[in-house]
């Protein structure tokens, strides 16, 4: 002891690292969400939208969008000193879906980001995670000027299972996004515990 204080340092705790996907339709805010919480400079693979892509990139509802993710977004956030999340944002357009299987390997869970102006764009991501048994949470990105709907109405329109959590969020706001990520992790861990309990002899 020195001057009444312990000279011992807290033991180093090796953090648990978890992989979370951020998916959803074109222009829904995936890149923004990853950038809002990442404690490192996010890796982005964005390209300028070109005239050649106009026939296949539906800009209805996102007319001001000028870039698109062509591979993935990547960021990292430390939720606790012993828990780190690696975030992988998926590309939104159909022609880049071949990358999803590779990005999904080893993922604990996923966020499906939704836009009520283009809600149908969420169906493909929801179907993808349901078919592969990857736990996910739906986060409705509340864009300025977009009409707001009750959560239960959005849930019904997306035909979500009762155990799938649906949250309202602002993809630009760090605390709002952190709440979504915590919900995904908690949901995935509950399902994992349930699976282990069922498999136990």
Pick from 99, 200, 110, 201: which is nearest to 164 by CA?
110
pLDDT at 55: 47
pTM (two decimals): 0.79
Is 73 inside any structural domain? yes
Pick from 129, 80, 137: which is nearest to 103 by CA?
129
Is 31 inside any structural domain? yes
List the CATH number of the domain containing 120: 3.40.50.300
Average pLDDT score, the chain:
83
Span between the terminal Cα atoms of the chain, in Å: 50
The region of weakest confidence among 95-99, 168-172, 179-183 is: 95-99
**Does residue 120 register a pLDDT over 70?**
yes
Distance between CA atoms of residues 135 and 107, nearest Å:
9
Q: 88 is in which domain, residue-wise?
A: 16-199
pLDDT at 71: 54
Is 7 inside any structural domain? no
Q: How many domains does the chain contain in total?
A: 1
Over residues 132-156, the pLDDT tens digits come to: 999 999 999 998 888 889 999 999 9
Is 11 inside any structural domain? no
**SS3 label, residue 7:** coil
Return the top range by mean pLDDT from 7-16, 56-65, 81-90, 97-106.
81-90
Is 119 inside any structural domain? yes
Is 2 inside any structural domain? no
% of the chain exceeding 70 in pLDDT: 78
């Amino acid at each position: 002891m020195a001057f009444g204080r312990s000279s011992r340092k807290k033991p180093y705790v090796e953090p648990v690292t978890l992989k979370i996907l951020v998916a959803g339709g074109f222009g829904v805010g995936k890149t923004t969400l990853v950038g809002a919480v990442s404690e490192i400079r996010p890796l982005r693979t964005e390209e300028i939208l070109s005239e050649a892509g106009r026939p296949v990139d539906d800009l209805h509802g996102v007319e001001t969008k000028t870039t698109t993710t062509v591979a993935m977004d990547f960021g990292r956030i430390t939720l606790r000193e012993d828990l780190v999340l690696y975030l992988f944002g998926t590309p939104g357009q159909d022609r880049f879906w071949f990358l999803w299987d590779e990005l999904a390997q080893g993922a604990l869970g996923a966020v499906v980001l939704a836009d009520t102006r283009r809600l149908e764009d969420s169906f493909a991501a929801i179907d993808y995670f349901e078919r592969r048994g990857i736990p996910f949470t739906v986060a409705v990105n509340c864009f300025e000027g977009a009409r707001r709907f009750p959560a239960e109405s959005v849930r019904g329109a997306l035909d979500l299972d009762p155990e799938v959590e649906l949250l309202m969020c602002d993809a630009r706001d760090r605390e709002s996004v952190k709440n979504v990520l915590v919900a995904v992790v908690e949901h995935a861990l509950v399902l994992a515990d349930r699976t282990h309990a069922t498999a136990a002899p």
